[in-house]
Structure 1
Amino acid sequence: MKKVALYVRVSTLDQSNKNQKVRLTEYAKQKGYEYDIYEEVESSRRTRPVKQELLKKLRSGEYSGVIVYKIDRWARSSTELILEIKELVDKGITFVSISDNLDFSTAAGRLHFQILAIFAEFERSLISERTRNALQRKKAEGYVFKGRPKGAKDLKKRKNDGYLKREERKRLMDNPK
């Protein structure tokens, strides 16, 4: 019997995850899976401790798969989704989204995943392109970039003896006599 994790998430305290739990437990029972439920409540903040705990257990092999109600319950961005699912799939961990009818352990599911990955890469490229264009425009308008704001580490002089030693060693390696 396969042991899986069921992950449910709602964004605010006034929302309910009952529908997600009902659908996920029905699915797991129908497939004959042994399961544990992981509930993330009020996950509007950046960190999701329940998900992080689940990821740790998935990585250690405690579960052979994770099942979510909908793919957007797992990740907040396509980049997060792609990176985490790729890691899980590469480790042989099943990832299923029942509402989206996606099972990344099947050939069709892997095809869907590749398509999602391509769109995520495209999205990252567009963001990068827009950022470069905005910086070029600002520069053309005469904006002077000041760089990173000074912080606590900038207030005291840094040691550079390690840097000098590395540079000397590199120079000797490149030009042995």
Structure 2
Amino acid sequence: MGKRIGYARVSTDDQNLDLQRDALALAGCSTVYEETMSGKSADRPELGHCLKALRSGDTLVVWRLDRLGRSLPDLVGIVSSLEREGVAFESITERIETTSAAGKLIFHVFAALAEFERNLTRERTRAGLAAARARGRKGGRKPALDDRQVREIRALLRDPEIQVTDVARRYGVSRTTLYRYVGSPKSSAVV
């Protein structure tokens, strides 16, 4: 039988971990990783330590689902990763545990909802881009150099005394960007 390891998180310093500590202790957790960190932050060091400590046969226990995942897709990703490693998952408040068939079913419904949410977002994005294109707008970043600037740069680079680095600095772009617009220095000299 593996260990029951808890993870507790609050978002701000003025919040208290006592409720979560008590619930995780009652749930039989031998170790509890705790941190004060916004759930929106991808960098949660204690969660990283917790996940590294888990071994096949162990169970990760949280007080509530939102303590673990930043979003439904994030939560599904973490729990799926645990499942691949042979680690069970349990959420005390929602009474979800992946050791039983019913718990797995509930979690897979969550996974399906997360996939549905991703697909809806993708469809909305595509529809929005298509509508913008139909109105003559292009998506993406504004070009670093306009046609007039490209002509000027080509003219400048015909002079063998002028350095590519100086031209790039003058126009506020990198040498790579400059080459992307005007080609290699040899082809610019010919133009």
Q: What range is the shorter-chain TM-score in? A: 0.7 to 0.9
2:11 corresponding residue in structure 1: 11
Letter in 1 for 2:64: K
Shift of the 113–62 alpha-carbon distance from structure 1 to 2, 3 Å rule, reads closer
Which of 176, 183, 186 in structure 2 is aligned with 1:154? Answer: 176
Which structure ranks higher in relative contact order (CA pairs < 8 Å, sequence separation ≥ 6)? 1
1:136 and 2:107 are equivalent in the alignment: no
Counterpart code for 1:13: D
Offset, 1:4:
2.1
Specify whether residues 153 and 24 from structure 1 end up closer, same or farther in structure 2 by C-alpha distance, changes over 3 A only: farther
**Gap change, CA 1:156 and 1:54, over 3 Å in 2:** farther
My pick for the range that moved more, 83-92 or 15-24, is 83-92
1:55 aligns with 2:51: yes
Aligned residue type for 1:22:
D
% same residue:
34
Alignment of 1:71-150 (within 5 A): 71-147=65-141
Amino acid at match of 2:53: K
Quote the residue 2:165 is aligned against.
none
Contact between 2:12 and 2:36, CA under 8 Å: does it hold in 1?
A: yes
The CA distance in 1 between the partners of 2:71 and 2:36, in whole Å, is 18
Tell me the C-alpha RMSD between the 2 structures: 2.3
* Match in the other structure for 1:43: 38
**1-structure distance, mates of 2:175, 2:67:** 39
2:62 touches 2:92 (CA, 8 Å); kept in 1? yes
Mark the structure with the bigger radius of gyration: 2
Structure 2, unaligned stretches of length 5 or more?
A: 145-172, 181-191
Distance 1:149 1:92, change over 3 A: farther
TM-score, scaled relative to structure 1 = 0.76
Deviations 1:70-104 (A, max 9, x none): 01110011111111111111222110001100111
Does the 8 A contact of 2:60 with 2:87 survive in 1? yes
In structure 1, the gaps of 5 or more residues are 159-177
Amino acid corresponding to residue 10 of structure 2 in structure 1: V
